[in-house]
């Protein structure tokens, strides 16, 4: 089936790369190719774009792009360094990351990402490998389930939800999104207006199953190491957990961590590896009106300094 995907902050994120016609760029999250296609439109004949995605449906979409300047890698962006080595690419001019789950993944009930559909409880971005959400929830310790829901979902009723999951699976193994949502609804006593009780638990399990935060922490230093001088890092985050990782990385890499009162002249101190570019960018009102999922998006940009 075909599902509509509206690329969030499309022009802002690509413009942030400050694209050179002959440059080499990485789209770490191909999705349905919105950012990739715009990057390709700005490249000259000697430019190159390397895109990554875990999702087999995204890979199928990428394979419809018949462009010799374009390469798709069926893997998560945490494999950046190894994949670039395999492609004999030593340095790149920009990396774009559009984090989180995509609209087609949410809107395709069969993927198990959403509580809006009663479907197999899968939640894997890459359906060809890894453990499903159902497999993990049916086998994990109650304490581990509670920690994941608390840490990745910021759910204050995490202990109650974990206890409900363990009690429910003792009667019958969890197998569908509807079963999980029903268990959560009974355990979560109050919720913010307009938010389903299962929202935070589904987010937490999805992040854990796909190792989203771990992979984000892995890609950022790899991207910095591979960027050439003046190369740009353009990252769109959709919730506070991933944005916090991006923000801290950019802040840490854009300042010196030197002891006070060192007898060193300012002119002798090399610049920090990164320079933060501008303020964080958010979607404009017209984009949010057309695509409510853009409301929480935040774009951060940094540039590799001369070494």
Which among 174, 148, 168 is positioned nearest to 159, based on CA atoms?
148
Query: For residue 112, what pLDDT is reported?
Result: 80
Predicted TM-score of the model (pTM):
0.90
All residues at 6 or more sequence positions from 23 whose CB lies less than 8 Å from its CB, including other chains = 43, 47, 48, 92, 93, 94
Query: For residue 190, what pLDDT is reported?
Result: 73
What's 10-103+212-304's CATH class? alpha beta
Q: Is 105 annotated as a binding residue?
A: yes
Opening angle at CA 238, ends 296 and 216, nearest 5: 165
Query: For residue 260, what pLDDT is reported?
Result: 57
The beta strands (E) that lie in the chain are given as 24-27, 48-53, 70-74, 92-98, 227-237, 274-276, 281-282, 298-304
Cα–Cα distance for residue pair 275/123, rounded to 1 Å: 36
Q: Is 44 annotated as a binding residue?
A: no
Residues of the chain with pLDDT under 50: 1-3
Residue 212 phi/psi, 5° resolution?
-65, -45
Q: Are the C-beta atoms of 241 and 258 separated by less than 8 Å?
A: no
Query: For residue 77, what pLDDT is reported?
Result: 97
Q: Quickly name the fold that domain 127-209 has.
A: DNA polymerase; domain 1 (1.10.150)
Q: Is 33 annotated as a binding residue?
A: yes
Give 81-137 pLDDT, tens digit per residue. Answer: 999 999 999 999 999 999 988 777 777 777 888 888 889 999 999 999 999 999 999
Query: For residue 3, what pLDDT is reported?
Result: 46
Query: For residue 189, what pLDDT is reported?
Result: 79
Q: Is 28 annotated as a binding residue?
A: no
Q: Is 98 annotated as a binding residue?
A: yes
Which among 243, 244, 245, 246 is positioned nearest to 233, based on CA atoms?
246
Query: For residue 1, what pLDDT is reported?
Result: 43
Long-range contact set of residues 70-76: C-beta below 8 Å, sequence gap at least 24: 70/36, 70/40, 72/30, 76/52, 76/125, 76/126, 76/211, 76/215
Quote the tokens at residue 97. 């990351």
Cα–Cα distance for residue pair 147/137, rounded to 1 Å: 13
**Identical fold between 10-103+212-304 and 127-209:** no
Query: For residue 84, what pLDDT is reported?
Result: 98
Q: Is 151 annotated as a binding residue?
A: no
Domain boundaries, the chain: 10-103+212-304, 127-209
Quote the tokens at residue 144. 């581990």
Q: Are the C-beta atoms of 91 and 65 separated by less than 8 Å?
A: no
Query: For residue 109, what pLDDT is reported?
Result: 74
Q: Is 243 annotated as a binding residue?
A: no
Residue written as token pair 């801290």: 248
Cα–Cα distance for residue pair 201/151, rounded to 1 Å: 10
Residue written as token pair 């001088």: 229
């Amino acid at each position: 089936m075909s599902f509509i995907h509206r690329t969030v902050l499309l022009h802002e994120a690509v413009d942030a790369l400050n694209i050179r016609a002959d440059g080499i760029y990485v789209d770490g999250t191909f999705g349905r190719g919105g950012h990739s296609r715009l990057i390709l439109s700005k490249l000259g004949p000697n430019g190159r774009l390397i895109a990554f995605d875990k999702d087999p449906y995204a890979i199928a979409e990428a394979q419809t792009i018949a462009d010799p300047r374009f390469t798709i890698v069926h893997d998560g962006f945490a494999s950046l360094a190894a994949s670039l080595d395999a492609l004999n690419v030593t340095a790149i001019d920009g990396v774009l990351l559009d984090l989180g789950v995509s609209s087609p993944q949410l809107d395709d009930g069969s993927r198990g990402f959403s509580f809006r559909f009663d479907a197999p409880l899968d939640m894997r971005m890459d359906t060809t490998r890894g453990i499903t959400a159902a497999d993990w929830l049916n086998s994990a310790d109650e304490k581990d389930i509670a920690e994941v829901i608390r840490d990745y979902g910021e759910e204050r009723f995490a202990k109650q939800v974990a206890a409900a999951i363990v009690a429910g699976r003792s009667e019958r193994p969890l197998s569908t999104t509807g079963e999980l949502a029903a268990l959560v609804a009974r355990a979560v006593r109050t919720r913010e207006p307009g938010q389903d009780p299962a929202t935070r638990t589904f987010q937490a399990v999805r992040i854990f199953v796909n190792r989203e935060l771990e992979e984000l922490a892995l890609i950022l230093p790899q991207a910095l190491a591979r960027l050439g001088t003046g190369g740009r890092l353009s990252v769109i985050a959709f919730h506070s957990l991933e944005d916090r990782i991006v923000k801290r990385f950019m802040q840490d890499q854009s300042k010196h961590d030197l002891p006070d009162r060192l007898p060193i002249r300012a002119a002798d101190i090399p610049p920090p590896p990164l320079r933060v570019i501008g303020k964080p960018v958010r979607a404009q009102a017209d984009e949010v009106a057309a695509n409510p999922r853009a409301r929480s998006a935040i774009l951060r940009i940094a540039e590799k300094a001369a070494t």
